[in-house]
Structure 1
Amino acid sequence: MASIDPNIDPYGYLGITQNSDGSITRRPEFLATCTADSDPKSPVLIKDIPINQQNNTWARLYLPAPESGAAPATKRPLLVYYHGGGFILCSAASSIFHAFCSRLAAEIPALVVSVEYRLAPEHRLPAAYDDSAEALDWIRTAGDEWLTDYADFSNCFLMGTSAGGNIAYHVGLRECVDVDQPKPLKIQGLILHQPFFGGVERTPSEIRLAGDKVLPPLLSDIMWDLSLPVGVDQDHEYSNPIRAVRLDVVEKVKDQGLRLLVTGCDGDPLVDRQIELVKMLKDKGVDVVDQFSDGGFHGCEIFDDSKAIVLYAALKKFVLNS
């Protein structure tokens, strides 16, 4: 994929072919990691558990191995993670996200639940939101021993990378709306790692980075065309939280004391949209921590270890509130 210019051959870059029935054929996912392939010397234990067999959704759990002599049920922060891929690609088993979550669990340390959700265009939004919210209900009721023994349900965070950051935001808003329902899971914060948002009008960063070799606006347009409900444009609330902001929901976010961490970099065409979201939320009184760096590219911390180290430190500080 890296050898293909996304501005010249975006479908080849993505490894997809559009079909006449509205679906897409994806290049086989050759870089995937199953639990059996995990490093046996890893300090993190890993297992997969089905959530909704009809929708073929499941979760991959990452548990920092209990230290020798530690209490048998040491509670860890619970971090629910949603992978990236523009809503149309990748999986919780994709090697890049598997490695990211494994290290995330070890660095904080936290019990990480990485969610497998349905992809568009076969399952357009809000399917990914529905699956991701269903995963929270599963966590609350599953009774899995890793969750009951090691997860601190009162200290839960929703996190996502790129499209996953978009999911964490929208699912977090849903949870705020449904706050009156009895729930054993207390969401303390949302972590939006280079979140994927859009809009009809180009931002200055999208214009400046129109020829970007990682995620040019042309590529984002294709992803939104394939993932948004049929007949809507990128100013829809799923894509553009500024143009379609629900002030009543934002007010609930503030009232409930939900904290947000938003990360980005100025080498990402989406950076202006991320900064705009931060400004809007701060202006409404929401507790937002933002971390924007110079240079980089969309998803750089997934691929660049030196940048990942800085991100893990920020995540640890945010989750542990230190």
Structure 2
Amino acid sequence: MGSICTSKEVEIELPTLLRAYKDGTVERLSGTPYVPPCLEDPKTGVASKDITIREDPLIQARFHLPKLEPVNEQPEKLPILVYYHGGGFCIESAFSLVEHQYLTTLVAEGKILAVSIEYRLAPECPVPTIFDDCWEGLQWVASHSIDNGGPAVKEPWLADHGDFHRVFVAGDSAGATIAHNVLMRAGRDPIVGGMKISGAYLTHPYFWGSEPIGSEPKTDHDKELPHIVWTSLYPTAKGGIDSPMINPFVTGAPSLAGLGCGRLLVSVAEKDLLRNRGLKYCEAVKESGFKGEVELVEAEGEDHAFHIVTYEKESAQVMIKRLAAFLNKSC
């Protein structure tokens, strides 16, 4: 006799991340608590607020604006950072404590305007649709560059303070994977108003593949968490774990010369399992014929996403200052 399927039978089990049941419910096992926006952060003076990009299905964003000192009657124009949070496509949020505090610190240091996209999460939302959400978020930002057009009601922080000649895309971990896919799309599809992406940074990008590289484990490679997460959340991916979405240097993947940005910074951490992939990505971009500038930053003695989960320690502050300098570097 076959087993009886109960409503709480587990369909997806991702250790430390989530448990999804066949009845459609999802139990998230990790992630930091949500925090509300604040009109003036007591430590940095950074203001934040939440807006809705699309109602149905819902895409939101959290804005972070540094404290500005009035100099003249004209509003100060700031570099714009369109940011995608990490969390394996399935946990965390633009509204999470660690992501909020990290961006507040970065915005204060770099004096930039950050737009952190609150995309939908897997497994409730298919992984390719997450990429679409994030592309739509970028297009919505770009729509504010059009004087006669764009959204019916423009977001005043973006319209008043955004410098659309200095637009950046970035992400951490899975958010860096999203940023990569958005940049590849920007290289082939037009952005509203003809807006160009000045630069991008990918911190500790979540890339993987079927064949181990560098110091990655040679045995049971398919039992490592990066493999399990991708194949569990996107089991129908063409190429599986070697889909160009997650393995951008697999044979047959689109050329990385097509990245739609002017400059690129890739950051890796010495103790991170994903380090080798980040290093290879950086070299592959350099060798691809990409016409922009490529920089690599490696944090010695640190692990995955250290600058976000431990944003207050000295090494994290050094990393955040490095990213802020990249966003403010003259082209």
Structure 2 partner of 1:228: 234
Structure 2 partner of 1:185: 195
Deviation at 1:21, TM superposition (A): 4.8
Alignment partner of 1:45 is 2:55: no
Aligned-CA RMSD value: 2.6
Alignment partner of 1:271 is 2:275: yes
Alignment partner of 1:260 is 2:264: yes
Over residues 165-213 of structure 1, what are the superposed CA-to-partner deviations in whole Å (9 max), with x where a residue is unaligned? 011111011111124x6525321111101111111122233228999xx
Over residues 38-79 of structure 1, what are the superposed CA-to-partner deviations in whole Å (9 max), with x where a residue is unaligned? 745641111100112212210000011211445541000000
Find the aligned partners of 2:277 and 2:178 in 1 and give their Cα distance: 15
Find the aligned partners of 2:199 and 2:60 in 1 and give their Cα distance: 23
Indicate how the Cα distance of structure 1 residues 72 and 43 shifts in structure 2: closer, same or farther if over 3 A, else same.
Answer: farther
Find the aligned partners of 2:203 and 2:305 in 1 and give their Cα distance: 8
Q: Percent sequence identity over matched residues?
A: 33
Over residues 263-292 of structure 1, what are the superposed CA-to-partner deviations in whole Å (9 max), with x where a residue is unaligned? 011200111111111111101232211111
- Greater than 6 Å deviation, 4+ residue runs: 208-211
Alignment: residue pair count? 303
Indicate how the Cα distance of structure 1 residues 95 and 164 shifts in structure 2: closer, same or farther if over 3 A, else same.
Answer: same
Alignment partner of 1:164 is 2:147: no
Find the aligned partners of 1:37 and 1:258 in 2 and give their Cα distance: 33
Structure having the larger proportion of residues in helix = 1
Over residues 100-132 of structure 1, what are the superposed CA-to-partner deviations in whole Å (9 max), with x where a residue is unaligned? 111111110100000011111121221111000
Indicate how the Cα distance of structure 1 residues 220 and 289 shifts in structure 2: closer, same or farther if over 3 A, else same.
Answer: same
Structure 1 residue identity aligned to 2:316: A
Structure 2 residue identity aligned to 1:204: G
Indicate how the Cα distance of structure 1 residues 22 and 203 shifts in structure 2: closer, same or farther if over 3 A, else same.
Answer: farther
Indicate how the Cα distance of structure 1 residues 38 and 118 shifts in structure 2: closer, same or farther if over 3 A, else same.
Answer: farther
Structure 1 partner of 2:100: 98
Larger radius of gyration: 2
What TM-score comes out, normalization by structure 1 length?
0.86
Structure 2 residue identity aligned to 1:95: L
Over residues 243-278 of structure 1, what are the superposed CA-to-partner deviations in whole Å (9 max), with x where a residue is unaligned? 04212xx3343xx76211000112001111111111
Task: Report SS of the residue matched to 1:204.
Answer: coil
Q: In the alignment, is the contact (CA less than 8 A) between 1:88 and 1:223 conserved in 2?
A: no
Indicate how the Cα distance of structure 1 residues 169 and 95 shifts in structure 2: closer, same or farther if over 3 A, else same.
Answer: same
Find the aligned partners of 2:295 and 2:73 in 1 and give their Cα distance: 33
Structure 2 regions of 5+ residues with no counterpart?
1-12, 144-149
Paired residues for 1:1-322 under 5 Å: 11=14, 13-14=16-17, 16-21=18-23, 24-27=26-29, 31-35=33-37, 39-40=41-42, 42-69=44-71, 71-139=73-141, 140=143, 141-142=150-151, 143-179=154-190, 183-207=193-217, 218-230=224-236, 232=238, 233-243=240-250, 244-247=252-255, 250-253=256-259, 258-286=262-290, 287-304=293-310, 305-321=313-329
Structure 1 regions of 5+ residues with no counterpart?
1-9
